[in-house]
Every structure is written in C-alpha cells, then in structure tokens.
Amino acid sequence: MDIRQQPEFPRVPRPIVAIGAGGIVRDAHLPAYAKCGFSVAGVYDPDQEKARALAHDFGIEVVYKSLPEAIARAPKSAVFDVATPATAVADIARALPDGAAALLQKPMGENLEQAREIRDICREKKLKAAVNFQLRFAPNNIGARSMIDQGAIGELHDIDINVNVHMPWHLWGWLAEIPRVEIVYHSIHYVDLVRSFLGNPRGVYARTTKHPSAPHMAATRSSMILDYGENVRANITTNHGHDFGDKHQWAYVKWEGTKGAVRTQIGVVLDYPKGRPDELEYCIVAEGDEREWVRAQPEGNWYPDAFVGTMASLQCYVEGSSNLLPTSIEDAYHTMAVVEAAYESSAAGGTAPEYG
C-alpha cells in the first residue's frame, strides 16, 4: 500500500508577503516555507523591531513600514500570509486588493459573528482566500487520509481525538483576557479535522470547563460529541491541565473502520513547547488475521510541516492546477459554525435527571 504523506505542490510557487511577525510565523510558517523552497518577499508587523529581527533571521530582504506599503509593494503574483490576532483579520482582509490570494490565520475570528464578517468581506472583494487550518496537512494525517481513501480500513465509522497533556498557558498572557480559549483556539483544529473526513455534523453536544491551575482564564478543558447519526461516532476530549509527569500524557487521533484502524500521535502538544515526534500506525484486518499494529515513519511533524500544506493548496488553487481549496473561507466558516454550536451547547447545559 502506497501511503502518501505529502501535499500537492504548485507548478510555479508564488512569492509570499508575511503580514505579522509573531511566534507562529517564526516557529512554523517561515521554517515550513524554507523547507519546501517557498520564497518570502517581505514582512510587515506593527512592531517594527520584531519584523526586522525576523527578516534578519530568515534572510527576508524587505521589511515594510506599514500595511498599505506592504500591499502597494507586494509582487503582482504575491500570496498574502496573514498571521495576526483573530480580531485584526477582518480589517486586513478589507485592505487587501480585490481578487488577491490570501492565507488567513486561524481562528476565523473569535466567534461566528466575526467569521461571518470575514467571509462576507472575502466574498465582496472576490479574494482567493483560505484559513490556516493546517492539522489536516500534518504528514501523518495526510497518511491516514491516504489509507482511508484507498479503502484500507473499510467503511469509516469512528473518529476519536483525545488530548491529555500539560499546557503552559502562561506563555500566551493575552489568553487570560479573552472570553473563549480552548475550543476556538485549540480544539477548533480537531473539529476541522473531523469535518474534513465526515463532513458537517447534524448537531453538537459539548461542555467546556475551567481548570483550577488557571482560575483567571476561560475554559481549558473540553468534551465534544459531533452527531453524525446512529452509526458513526465522533468524539473530541481535551484536558490541558494534566500536570502529573509524562507517563500518562497522550495526544492522539484514531480512525476506526470495518476492516481496520489508523492512529496518529500529535507530538507537538506533548511536553510542550519541546514536543515529541509525530507517529503513524495502522492495523488492517483480513479474515482470520492477527490484530497487529504496523508503524509507518511520518515524513515530518505537524509543526512546521503542516504549514506547507495550507500554503501549497492555496497556491495550487490560485494557479489552476487544482480546482479544490480544502480550507477555503466557505469551508472554514462551517468549522466556525460547529465551534459556535459547541459553545452554545456548553452554555445550555445537559438534560437534568428526574431524581425524585
């Protein structure tokens, strides 16, 4: 079985203009682009010192002094890589040239109202825009999709995502000031991944809860059931407060089908920020066969390699070598709709038992 783990690449890569010079750009975007040979024409950030330091470290020749300058001086065929706080995305999208190609940082706003505004701006300006839901493009997850698409595990009927780790939330001080944290900034990746395999769920049951170690933050633990009917199970469970050593920390995605199963490890969230390698293993069962798991070697990790996939898929779409844009604005809006439904379900509470 040929397990493909790499995304499709554009025939002629386009130059990239980076809008934002924060940690995610330094740690993931630019290392990914350097690894696959994508060129970055210039970078802009309101913090000019940060932009200059990033340009120096990654050999970027141009540091723009303002957003209007970045837009005016961008190469004609440029793709704008917008990696800014979610609340700034709408204004930046509104400033981009009509018809421009843009990869917008996730989430698509912090709530469905903001997501709708971003979607409507992109429609009005006819932007060729995608959202950076890159977990779909982690090499091990591309591998899982490759096997499932080939029918290796039969009919897919179960997706289970389970994360039990210690996340040092203090590294992102701004998270303490916002009303929503875990689902919209983290589990949104898992919601998007499930949607990419099963489509839109018919409903969501969810509860997101705070943790005693972060009493001044919004909820950092979540449980979600995505409803795909009586024959398909899709669960997402996350606990970011497991501060009891490494032995029982885990982070995985598991797909089960009628003929086998696939499991991937999400290495980046284990022992964060150091991380561990991603993993990919599978069990294919023929009649009478032993249940044995086979380990395949992932061709990279979620960070930074998955960030190649979102940019590459957008560039393929813009040049016309692909008519599919997996994380398009329209598709990303559906992920945001599921996230909003999860928060609404959590706020509504469960069904109260009749105890008496």
Q: Is the pLDDT of residue 18 over 80?
A: yes
CA distance 17 to 31: 15
Tell me the backbone φ, ψ of residue 254, rounded to 5 degrees. -130, 130
Q: What is the per-residue pLDDT across 75-121, written as a single tens digit (0 to 9) for each?
A: 999 999 999 999 999 999 999 999 999 999 999 999 999 999 999 99
Looking at residue 233, its amino acid is: R
Quickly list H helices, the chain. 23-24, 30-36, 48-58, 67-73, 89-95, 112-125, 139-149, 182, 188-198, 302-319, 329-348
| 16-135+305-325 and 138-302 share one fold | no
Q: Give the chain's length.
A: 356
Please state the rounded mean pLDDT for residues 239-264: 97
* CB distance 106 to 114 below 8 Å: no
Looking at residue 242, its amino acid is: H
CA distance 78 to 63: 15
pLDDT at 172: 86
CB-based contacts of 246: which residues, under 8 Å, 6+ apart? 270, 271
Q: Percent helix, strand and coil across the chain, each rounded to 5?
A: 40, 20, 40
pLDDT at 9: 97
pLDDT at 319: 97
Q: What is the per-residue pLDDT across 35-66, written as a single tens digit (0 to 9) for each?
A: 999 999 999 999 999 999 999 999 999 999 99
pLDDT at 118: 98
pLDDT: which is higher, 144 or 288: 144
CA distance 175 to 114: 18
Q: Which residue has the tokens 């783990």?
A: 5
State the DSSP code for 152. Answer: T
CB-based contacts of 213: which residues, under 8 Å, 6+ apart? 241, 243
pLDDT at 342: 98
Q: Quick check: pTM over 0.75? A: yes
Whole-angstrom Cα Rg for the chain:
21
* CB distance 336 to 115 below 8 Å: yes
CB-based contacts of 94: which residues, under 8 Å, 6+ apart? 121, 125
Q: What percentage of the chain carries pLDDT values higher than 70? A: 100
* CB distance 239 to 224 below 8 Å: no
Q: Which residue has the tokens 């929503």?
A: 180
pLDDT: which is higher, 289 or 310: 310
pLDDT at 343: 98
Give burial (CB, 10 Å; 0-12/13-18/19+) of 102.
buried
3.20.20.70, 3.30.360.10, 3.90.79.10, 2.10.10.90: CATH of 138-302: 3.30.360.10
* CB distance 201 to 227 below 8 Å: yes
DSSP string, 126-186: T-EEEE--GGGGSHHHHHHHHHHHTTTT-SEEEEEEEEE-B--GGG-GGGGGSS--HIIII
Q: How far apart are the first and last CA of the chain?
A: 58
- Regarding beta strands 79-82 and 62-64, do their DSSP bridges make them parallel or antiparallel, or are they unpaired? unpaired
Q: Is the pLDDT of residue 23 over 80?
A: yes
Q: What percentage of the chain carries pLDDT values higher than 90? A: 93
pLDDT at 286: 80
The tokens describing 176, both together, are: 């303490």
State the DSSP code for 246. Answer: S
CA distance 18 to 20: 6
* Fold exhibited by the domain 16-135+305-325: Rossmann fold (3.40.50)
Tell me the backbone φ, ψ of residue 172, rounded to 5 degrees. -125, 80
Q: Which residue has the tokens 């979600």?
A: 224
CA distance 109 to 323: 26
The residue extents of the domains of the chain are 16-135+305-325, 138-302
Please state the rounded mean pLDDT for residues 310-336: 98
Residue 25's pLDDT band (cuts 50, 70, 90): very high
